[in-house]
């Protein structure tokens, strides 16, 4: 039985709600339900009662729960010990900072990581989220600061709630409700989810949308916005710095995450992680939280 499935089973039992457990597990309801069904088939007994108020453990589930918890705890301890041995054998750690954040913020992050990872030789670089993900994949980075919502599951991920940016839909000319083109972030871009939310609010019908121009980074989007009559998703800080005009009624917040190949840090280390809020989003009815 997969430890991940058992861990999600414990989250479901604790929450008493598939919706809450799915959110905590970063899974869809369907995916979580399939995992629970898989566990019940493996154990050969029903584990949950499902009803309109949520889920509760069956008698068999209550009897098995302490043993499941022990297995998960032992597996976590084993994984942690194995990771520590890997870390000891690889003293040099390559860290990809995110240059979307200010120099001052990245300096504080460097100081923070240097303190937390004392004893390791740290090698820093900085680029945007797509490049940082590529560095993780190619082995050029062991830790990366990334923006967005969807990342490969093989990495350890810690969400950094106090490190985020505010983005807007912006144009070089006054927004009249019509644009000659839309700048579409590629899927790997941190702004892709914000772009989809913008489309759902302003262009719900694909037939109404103007042509799309693909962009793989904020710098490309910025160059396109400055050179043509188009609307694109960009940080509020960049929009202000280059005198771009935000589309009224839309702003979004994008959280940063720490991705790690090995568990160098845990969630317990994060409360004092350096924070930066770049132009916090305005409070309006179309702001996505």
pLDDT at residue 282 in the model? 39
- Torsion from C-alpha of 274, 279, 282, 287, nearest 10 degrees: -70
* Residue 177 confidence class, pLDDT cut points 50, 70, 90: low
pLDDT at residue 284 in the model? 37
Distance in angstroms (rounded) separating the CA atoms of residues 103 and 109:
10
* Residue 90 confidence class, pLDDT cut points 50, 70, 90: low
Q: What is the pLDDT of residues 231-244, one digit of tens each?
A: 999 999 899 999 99
105-111 contacts at long range (C-beta below 8 A, 24 or more positions apart):
105/163, 105/274, 105/276, 108/274, 109/145, 109/273, 109/274
Highest-pLDDT range among 79-88, 155-164, 275-284: 155-164
Tokens of 228: 């043509």
pLDDT at residue 286 in the model? 41
* Residue 288 confidence class, pLDDT cut points 50, 70, 90: very low
* Residue 77 confidence class, pLDDT cut points 50, 70, 90: confident
- Give residue 130's Cα distance to chain centre: 13
* Residue 198 confidence class, pLDDT cut points 50, 70, 90: very high
pLDDT over threshold 50, residue 151: yes
Domains observed in the chain: 3-78 (1.10.10.10), 93-165+256-269 (3.40.190.10), 166-253 (3.40.190)
**Percent over 90 (pLDDT), the chain:** 46
pLDDT at residue 281 in the model? 37
pLDDT at residue 199 in the model? 93
pLDDT over threshold 60, residue 277: no
pLDDT over threshold 50, residue 207: yes
Alpha helices in 153-257 (DSSP H): 192-202, 218-227, 236-241
**CA dihedral sign of residues 243, 247, 249, 254:** negative
Q: By three-state DSSP, how is residue 125 classified?
A: strand
The residue among 183 and 279 whose pLDDT is bigger is 183
Average pLDDT, whole number, for the chain? Answer: 86
pLDDT, average across residues 86-110: 85
* Residue 276 confidence class, pLDDT cut points 50, 70, 90: low
């Amino acid at each position: 039985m997969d430890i991940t499935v058992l861990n999600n089973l414990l989250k479901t039992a604790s929450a008493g709600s598939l919706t809450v457990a799915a959110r905590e597990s970063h899974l869809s309801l369907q995916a979580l339900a399939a995992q629970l069904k898989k566990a019940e088939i493996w154990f050969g007994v029903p584990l949950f009662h499902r009803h309109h108020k949520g889920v509760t453990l069956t008698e068999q589930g209550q009897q098995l729960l302490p043993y499941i918890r022990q297995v998960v705890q032992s597996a976590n301890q084993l994984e942690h010990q194995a990771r520590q041995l890997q870390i000891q054998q690889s003293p040099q750690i390559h860290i990809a900072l995110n240059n979307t954040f200010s120099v001052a913020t990245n300096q504080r992050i460097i100081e923070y990581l240097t303190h937390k990872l004392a004893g390791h030789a740290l090698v820093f670089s900085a680029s945007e989220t797509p490049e940082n993900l590529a560095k993780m994949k190619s082995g050029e980075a062991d830790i990366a600061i990334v923006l967005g919502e969807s990342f490969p599951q093989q990495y350890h991920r810690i969400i950094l709630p106090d490190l985020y940016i505010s983005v807007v839909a912006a144009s070089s000319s006054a927004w009249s409700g019509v644009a000659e083109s839309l700048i579409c972030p590629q899927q790997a871009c941190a702004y892709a989810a914000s772009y989809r939310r913008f489309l759902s609010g302003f262009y719900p019908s694909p037939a109404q949308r103007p042509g799309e121009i693909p962009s793989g980074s904020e710098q490309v989007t910025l160059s396109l916005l400055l050179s043509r009559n188009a609307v694109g998703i960009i940080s509020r800080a960049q929009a202000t710095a280059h005198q771009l005009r935000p589309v009224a009624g839309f702003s979004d917040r994008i959280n940063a995450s720490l991705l790690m190949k090995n568990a160098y840090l845990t969630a317990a280390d994060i409360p004092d992680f350096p924070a930066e809020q770049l132009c916090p989003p305005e409070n309006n009815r179309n702001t996505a939280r």
